[in-house]
Amino acid sequence: MIKQTGEVFVEYEKYAQRLDFYRKKQFTNQITGQGNLSFFDALEAENEDAREIRSVFPSPLRYQVCRKVHHSTVPRLEELVTRVYSELKDDYYPGEHVIAQISSDPDKRLPGIVRDKITFSPSINSVRHADNAPMSRYFVTVTHEHPSPVDTSDLLLDSKKLSRDRRTYSRSILRSFIRNIAYSENYKGAPWQVKPELVAEFRLPKEVPYYLTVQGIAEAKKTVKTEQPTTFYNYYSGPDNILHKQPPQQFAFHNTIIQPQPQVPFRPPPGGSGPPPFQQQQPNANFAPLMGGVPIVPVPAPPNGQFMPAPNRMAPPRPPPVPVQPRPPPIKYPIEDTDIPPRRNGKVRPQPKFLADDVPDGAPAPKDELGLQMKSVGSMLSVWQTLNVHAEVYILDSFTLDDFIEALAYPGDAYDCQLLTEIHCALLKLLIDEQGDILVHSENFSEWDVVSGRADSQSSKSPSPARSETPPARRTRSKVSSKDTEITPTKPVQPRLTNRASELLSEFDWKDHLARRDFQDGKWQAIVVGVLRQIPKTSFKKPTCDQILAHLVPSDMEPELDTVREQYDSLDINLRIAILDTLKSYTLATEPLREYMANCNANMTTIRNQKIVQQRERKELLKKLGGLEQQRKIEQGKQLSHSPQPEANGDVSMSGITEPDANGEDEKEGTSPNHGRKLRKSNARKRKFVEDEQTRLEREKREREEAERAKFRALLGEIEKTNAAIKACEDEIKKYDEELRENQCQQLRPLGSDRFCNQYWWLERWGMPLGGLPTSSTAEYNYVSGRLWIQGPPELSKDLIQPNPAEEERMKLERGYTMKERRNEEEGSIQLSNPDQWGYYDNPEDVQKLLDWLDDRGHRELKLKKELSNWQDQIVEYMVNWKTHLADVEKEKAAGADDEKRMQTRQKATNSENDAARYWCLRWENSYAVDELGHLHSEEPPKKGKKTKGKKR
């Protein structure tokens, strides 16, 4: 059972499906409009906001707002809020707290309560027109600020002197209140309805009027009558017909001349009644010339001189109304992206750039040709992302994508490029440990010894000769024996030798050198040859591995370590990527990498629990803050009522008590000194008593006000502390979100797909710091990729974006365009056709154009636009950092080229110095391995007695 909805399930699967649906973050808070919430969070937030709104909203206005909203047909919420707000703007009701202006000074306002309301009818003049609109007067009880025996007074004010407190009544508060109390059904013309509990409380009509229901609106549309056809009868019988205002003898209809006959009194025959029948008259030939030869058709006139419509001239009956087809239901978005018609607003997807030389049709070639093929770009990005995400397992510093590409294309000695050498050695060290045990959990690697032994034994054995004995004789119906036929022996076909890897490995034990971590002097290149020899023949990588081996250990060169080292330096960039991709795929099945992923999963579980604790604490603090804010509003109103009034001249009167004149008293009472002395003493005692009493009252009032101010200051301090605690919780939640992102290393997921199934990737999104490791040698670059990647559609979506001819014809007939025409219109000249094609965006303007191009009415582009909007700021930030770094690189390369020319002129430059000026990848250093291991991967580890302990990062 789900408590929040009261649903009861008898099957667990349906219960789980329903619960998963409620937990999806696709619901919206109806009161505040906040989205991206689960059902339970939205319900809880709505209840909390509803309680807050109902506590703040003035009680006397609740009935008035409900009465004006209930069964209102204003379609949009904003229009309804505007209408209700304008109607209640200058109208006040008894019991409502207002702010009154009691003098001509607009700044002098006092709080008060409306006690009663008097409405006067409009005045009507002599012509029964209203001269003035109806007006209202209000009895308002105003609370004065200065102390007096009576702190309140009743005033009669109009609406111009009154106003409401914006803290309790404003347009936004009214909008939230209407969202809370009212709803409307999902059909055109549906009225607003107040919630049932408020309908019962204020005794509003419960049932919706029939003409506002779905059936009533549908019947009203069906019964709408069109205008009647304009016929003579309809015109004649109309109230504005001019024929009723003139005698019938003066009319001529078209070319007809009416000849009235003389009026003869009608006398009915004996026994008869009624007028005689009309008689047809012959046309008068004398009038024919006057009409230009047009025949005249005389119209007989009835004897009573009145024209009445003949029975046979009545308008024909109207045909029955054609039944109107019901309108199709409105489309509920989102839907399939390709089913949405194109907007045709002129917006085209921004054109991507490419790294590979074999770019798609219509795309410009890259500025620097590296010999990189399009099919190798995906493998290159996968290797780069894997090495950076699992840098702790491989013990590698993070490195930028530009350095990685530059290292792959480095033409010099591989040992001069530390990045290239360290990557190979780090990958190889995960295959076999120092004891010589294979760490790869794979069927292919479990048979390494068998495969290598079988290959060597087969190469050493001589081919078996063909069988030369003749088969036994067999008679046929033609009695021909097979003995008469001699069988000649066939020679076996020798396979063409393309490489000499077996000869190299017969003298070089690559597993022993790998276990001893001996990578110097071309040994790690020879170990790579040994690993590639283990690829089974059934693998799809076998042809590529044979091509690599044919280059590293060619058949026309001696199989030596120096040969392999020199041949690797001239290896094609695509084959280097293939080597790293093969090694990477094997390392993903090793025990250290699996343990690392398991630890990341455990860390994510712990981090999620800590995040939940912070979220609960933040929720409690927000609840506490709401109560403190309500208390602050109350205390703030008290502070406003206790604020002192400034005196006009700065003098302070002693409560209106003036000191009596002693001389006057003596003259009045007499000349006796004793009597005057007694009177002065009694007056002094009375004055002192009054002054003491007044001083005590003022002191108590000051103490009371000071205590209230201290309480208010303490309340403000508590609110400030609560806000600081909420800010600390939010910072902790953001930190946990960042840790969850960096620990998400199990699977790299794309941002989403567009309408044509192209996938978009931001490689820094999961498993790594956005700017790389802060302790790496390239941390000052402050970026790692700086690109938004786009990949072509997968093979599974080929039927959707490349339909067959029959489907294209059907689409052309139904929609007016084909998929190819739509792609040309919306994607432009550059289109990706398969998942092996990769492009990228490196300008922030292109990211914004892509967001504008996406249509959130489709399923795929809705998710893509949401994710891209969430990560847009980070993507743009690191794109700008990448652009800044490239500008610095170009400047230093230009300066280095000038220095190189000068150094070459003086003959003091070496090859390594020149390469360091041109290739920035040579500046990368594996400081992580030095700190952890005490040496680089390519260096032989020190002996156990002399092993140094690496620093912990």
**Average confidence (pLDDT) over 311-329:** 68
Tell me, yes or no, whether 576 and 436 share the same domain.
yes
Question: Residue 18 domain-assigned?
Answer: no
In this predicted structure, the answer to whether residue 293 has a pLDDT above a threshold of 60 is no
Beta-bridge partners for 204:
none
Tell me, yes or no, whether 151 and 252 share the same domain.
no
Lowest mean pLDDT, pick from 85-89, 257-261, 700-704? 257-261
The confidence band for 238, taking pLDDT boundaries of 50, 70 and 90, is: low
Distance separating alpha carbons of residues 208 and 192, to the nearest angstrom: 10
Structure tokens at 324: 């109107």
Q: Running DSSP on this structure, what letter comes out for residue 208?
A: P
pLDDT at 166: 82
- Give me the half-sphere count of Cα atoms (radius 13 Å) on the Cβ side of residue 479: 0
User: Is the separation of the CB atoms in 784 and 401 below 8 Å?
Assistant: yes
In this predicted structure, the answer to whether residue 787 has a pLDDT above a threshold of 90 is yes
Tell me, yes or no, whether 626 and 533 share the same domain.
no
- Give the domain-ending residue among 163, 188, 203: 163
Q: Would you mind telling me the total number of residues written for the chain in this entry?
A: 953
Question: Residue 13 domain-assigned?
Answer: no
Dihedral class, residue 455 (left if φ above 0, else alpha if ψ from -120 to 50, else beta): alpha
Tell me, yes or no, whether 292 and 356 share the same domain.
no
Lowest mean pLDDT, pick from 22-31, 659-668, 848-857? 659-668
Lowest mean pLDDT, pick from 77-86, 487-496, 573-582? 487-496
Lowest mean pLDDT, pick from 148-157, 380-389, 684-693? 148-157
Q: What is the DSSP string of 309-368?
A: --GGGSPPPPPPPPPPPPPPPPP-S-B-GGGSPP--SS--PPPPB-SSSSPPTTPPPPSS
The confidence band for 28, taking pLDDT boundaries of 50, 70 and 90, is: confident
Tell me, yes or no, whether 725 and 626 share the same domain.
yes
Q: For residue 858, what are the domain limits?
A: 350-417+748-793+832-953
Tell me, yes or no, whether 947 and 874 share the same domain.
yes
Question: Residue 374 domain-assigned?
Answer: yes
Question: Residue 614 domain-assigned?
Answer: yes
Q: What is the DSSP string of 508-557?
A: --HHHHHHTT--TTTHHHHHHHHHHTTS-TTSTTHHHHHHHHHHHSBTTS
Structure tokens at 243: 């024929």
**Average confidence (pLDDT) over 518-530:** 90
**Average confidence (pLDDT) over 373-381:** 93
Using one digit for the tens of pLDDT, what is the confidence trace for 42-54? 888 888 877 877 7
> Does a cis peptide bond (omega within 30 degrees of 0) precede residue 769?
no
End-to-end CA distance of the chain: 51
The confidence band for 254, taking pLDDT boundaries of 50, 70 and 90, is: very low
Tell me, yes or no, whether 570 and 701 share the same domain.
no
Provide the mean pLDDT of the chain.
78
Using one digit for the tens of pLDDT, what is the confidence trace for 149-200? 445 678 888 888 888 888 888 888 888 888 888 888 888 888 999 989 889 8
State how far the alpha carbon of 509 is from the alpha carbons of 526, 760, 875, in Å: 9, 45, 48
Distance of CA 338 to the CA centre of its chain: 20
Tell me, yes or no, whether 697 and 789 share the same domain.
no
Tell me, yes or no, whether 839 and 933 share the same domain.
yes
Lowest mean pLDDT, pick from 308-317, 427-436, 444-453? 444-453
Percent pLDDT > 70 in the chain is 74
Distance separating alpha carbons of residues 420 and 412, to the nearest angstrom: 11
The residue written with tokens 């034990």 in the block is 509
Question: Residue 482 domain-assigned?
Answer: no
- Give the domain-ending residue among 110, 145, 163: 163
State how far the alpha carbon of 215 is from the alpha carbons of 187, 220, 225, 325, 540, in Å: 11, 9, 18, 15, 66
| Phi, psi dihedrals of residue 838, rounded to the nearest 5° | -130, 135
Tell me, yes or no, whether 942 and 910 share the same domain.
yes
In one-letter notation, the amino acid at residue 294 is: V
The number of distinct structural domains making up the chain is 5
**Average confidence (pLDDT) over 932-942:** 86
In this predicted structure, the answer to whether residue 354 has a pLDDT above a threshold of 90 is yes
Lowest mean pLDDT, pick from 98-102, 275-279, 870-874? 275-279
The residue written with tokens 């109350």 in the block is 634
Percent pLDDT > 90 in the chain is 28
Question: Residue 565 domain-assigned?
Answer: yes
Using one digit for the tens of pLDDT, what is the confidence trace for 432-460? 988 888 888 765 554 454 333 333 433 33
Distance separating alpha carbons of residues 210 and 189, to the nearest angstrom: 12
pLDDT at 752: 93
**Helix, strand, coil share of the chain (percent; to 5):** 50, 5, 45
Question: Residue 625 domain-assigned?
Answer: yes
pLDDT at 125: 63
pLDDT at 453: 38
Q: What is the DSSP string of 46-64?
A: HHHHHHHHHHHS-THHHHH
pLDDT at 216: 85
User: Is the separation of the CB atoms in 396 and 933 below 8 Å?
Assistant: no
Top pLDDT among 324 and 221 is at 221
Question: Residue 524 domain-assigned?
Answer: yes
Q: What is the pTM of this model?
A: 0.59
The residue written with tokens 């008590």 in the block is 657
- Give the domain-ending residue among 142, 163, 184: 163
Tell me, yes or no, whether 575 and 630 share the same domain.
no
> Any residues with CB less than 8 A from the CB of 261 and at least 6 apart, and which?
281, 300, 301, 303
pLDDT at 375: 92
The confidence band for 129, taking pLDDT boundaries of 50, 70 and 90, is: low
pLDDT at 578: 94
Q: Running DSSP on this structure, what letter comes out for residue 485?
A: S
Handedness of CA 752, 758, 762, 763 (dihedral sign): positive
Using one digit for the tens of pLDDT, what is the confidence trace for 478-507? 333 434 434 444 444 445 667 888 889 888
Tell me, yes or no, whether 762 and 907 share the same domain.
yes
